[in-house]
Structure 1
Amino acid sequence: MNAIEVLGLKIEINDWEYNNRLPLYIKNTYLIKKVLIDGIHALMLLPKIELPSTPALKKHILKIQNIENLPVFLKLEILSEYRKNNLLSNKIPFVYLEKLVYLPFLGTLLTNVNLNQTRKIEKFTMSAQLLFIWIMHQNSDKYYISESISKVKFSNMTLTRAYRQLVSSGLFNEAKDGRKIYLTSIYSKEELFEKAKPYFVSQVIDTGYIDEKKLSEKIMCGESLLSEYSLLNPPRIIEYAICHKNIDKSLLTTELIDPNVQVKVELWKYDPLLFSKDNKTIDIISLAISLLKNDDERIEIALEQLLEKL
């Protein structure tokens, strides 16, 4: 339920017929819908990327209103306290989740809220976790968010949500170098990993067994890979990882029928080699996260020794 519905206002949403008359840079910045709120027509802007500066935003709204002269408002899923105050002082209408409505053309303002209050998070989203892993591989104490795009390949909106969740965890602080956003931390890499453990989610969607000859990618994972780095004995059945998109799941079985022919496979949410240094071996951080739920003391000791090498 969004903030408009919380107020008991009826809203009808339709496509805007004049989208093809917009300049490309505006099309790439917003998705525009025509809405009817309690009998009043307006245009709703849903940002596709992070909002531009206020002067640019005003120019965009003016260009849109030159096409159809209707009230324009932003529908936001991300809003800082500073941005909120800036929008209010510039009289730019907006709706923020179920928290806040500023629609002066309707005379509507929902009870104010402090957006600087840190929202408690229980688990990382996968995008936040991937950004965390990227940070763990950087040899710097300033982690410029824009530099991660070449590796994680997120949209600007996804990347913004990811780094803000890392900030909400209390592990990182946000700072700016001109217009470039970067994160810093008071913790060492080893401390970061330990403190982040409660927030990690498993990247393994499912496991199964497959005829080794039918496995297209052979990327060693789990205890099999950990044994390569430590004195841990390898498991009897070799373990491989593959992105869930790159395998025919009908080839998998839950039964180990012939250990001389079959291997164990982990289906990952992302490419297991995403952070690999040699494009052959899973990186240590991803490997460690995949094994965290294993309560075998031998594995815990081997992981601790491995992570110390970072």
Structure 2
Amino acid sequence: MLDSERHIEHDRLATPLRAYLEKVLHTRVKVRAWGGADGLPVFLARGYDFAELVIERIACLVMSFHGDAEPRPSNIEKHVRQVRNVYEGPVAFASSSMSSTFRDRLIEAGVPFIVPGNQLYFPELAIDLREHFISPAPPKRDQMAPATQAVFFHYLLNPEDWPMPVSELAGHLGYSAMTVGRAFDELAGFSLGRIQRSGRVKLLRFRSDPKTLIDSAKTLLTTPVLREHRVRWRRDPEPLQLGGLSALGELSMIDANELRCYAVSQHEAKRLKGDRTCEEVDVYVEAEARLEVWRYDPRLLSRDRIVDPLSLYAQFWNDPDERVSGAAYDMLENLEW
């Protein structure tokens, strides 16, 4: 094949691939020509078009047959295996259409594949099969996922910054663009907002003001606390975020007459234990503090030494102790929206 013809075929493969993957994965996808075809057997180099994808800094190769009669799934499996001997990274087969039988045989053979606009199966990238034309919608969650709640609270605390593109918000919160994109979809699924697209930019526009939204969504909230430990300090820790009843006591009239409580991310909890800043104790009288390990990093939404009030509200609004739940309600009422 002439270079000019191969360039045309590459563009025909690259354009729909990029558009489809960016829509599904909610992140930018780079597609570039692959120069390694010369190292393949002649029948592969001439029979397939190749495009290299870069998704979230992960490179992978896609190969698409351009002859008249597409090979059988068993042959495609052999061809993909041969390409893997040359390319150091995941390899997938791409086609403009695919029957369910053909698809099932590729899955049985362990061959990743992409059908732009319809199907995606790429286990090596932790991407599951999506069939838009026949698959039922995923079951609706009863509560927000931790990342979804973090995105929701970011809007409630910073409405003047919204709507915010997926990529920009991902940078603020430390999540991948794919995670933030899924959070947008989940919030839209809860009817708290609607998805809007401007070219490749995906936005979420919330349907109401922050005060109204938090009131209507409180049953969807989940406590940010994954687990709690009583600890004794072996040396003075770096400044930590006040959490739990200690934080609620700072933001309401409740008397937090107990051990000082701090909130940390899962990563920070491992660090504190790993560098022996603290040690867990079983006996209450030996404890010097409570350490709450959060599902998301409490520093993402906090503006000072205390965790953000919305995460506190999610933790305590339905507390069985009416003094605590009442203090959480009072704290929310006193917020300046």
Which TM-score band (shorter chain)? 0.5 to 0.7
Match of 1:41 in 2: 76
Q: How does 1:136-175 map to 2 (within 5 A)?
A: 136-140=156-160, 142-146=162-166, 147-175=168-196
User: Which residue does 1:257 correspond to in 2?
Assistant: 285
Change (3 A) 1:179 1:140: farther
Structure 1 residues 21 and 128 mapped into 2: Cα distance closer, same or farther (>3 Å)? farther
Cα distance in 1, alignment partners of residues 60 and 97 from structure 2: 10
Please tell me whether the aligned partners of residues 155 and 162 of structure 2 are also in contact (alpha carbons under 8 angstroms).
Answer: no
Number of residue-to-residue matches in the alignment: 239
Deviations 1:262-282 (A, max 9, x none): 21111123322211223x221
Normalised to the residue count of structure 2, the TM-score between the two structures is 0.59
In structure 1, list runs of 5 or more residues that go unmatched. Answer: 1-17, 45-63, 76-90, 102-111
Root-mean-square deviation (CA, aligned residues, Å) is: 3.8
Contact 2:52–2:62 (Cα < 8 Å) also in 1: no
Residues 113 and 294 from structure 1, CA distance in 2 versus in 1: closer, same or farther, beyond 3 angstroms?
Answer: same
1:242 to 245, 264, 269: 264
Match of 2:314? Answer: 289
**Counterpart-to-counterpart distance in 1, 2:231 and 2:214:** 33
Report the TM-score when normalising by structure 1. 0.64
Gap change, CA 1:196 and 1:254, over 3 Å in 2: farther
Select the structure that is richer in helix: 2
CA contact under 8 A between 1:74 and 1:95: conserved in structure 2?
no
Partner of 2:153, secondary structure, is helix
Equivalence for 2:21:
none
> 2: distance between equivalents of 1:132 and 1:156?
15
Task: Name the structure 2 match of 1:31.
Answer: 60
Aligned equivalents of 2:138 and 2:296: distance in 1?
29
Q: Which residue of 1 aligns with 2:219?
A: 198
1:230 corresponds to 2:255? no
Aligned amino acid, residue 271 of structure 1: D
Alignment of 1:92-171 (within 5 A): 92=116, 94-96=118-120, 97=128, 100=131, 112-113=133-134, 119-140=139-160, 142-146=162-166, 147-171=168-192
Does the Cα contact within 8 Å between 2:261 and 2:292 map onto a contact in 1?
Answer: yes
Tell me if the contact between 1:176 and 1:182 (Cα under 8 Å) persists in the aligned partners.
Answer: yes
CA deviation after TM superposition for structure 1 residue 124, in Å: 2.0
CA contact (8 A) 1:72 1:93 kept: no
In the alignment, does 2:205 pair up with 1:184? yes
AA at the equivalent of 2:74:
G
8 Å Cα contact 1:127/1:158 also seen in 2: yes
Amino acid at match of 1:219: Q
Instruction: Provide the secondary structure at the position in 2 that maps to 1:160.
Output: helix
Larger deviation, residues 202-211 vs 31-40: 31-40
Percent of matched pairs sharing the same residue: 18
The whole-number CA distance in structure 1 between the counterparts of 2:200 and 2:53 is 23
What are the superposed Cα offsets for residues 43-84 of structure 1, whole Å, 9 maximum, x if unpaired?
99xxxxxxxxxxxxxxxxxxx9xxx9x754799xxxxxxxxx
CA distance in 1, matches of 2:311, 2:97: 38
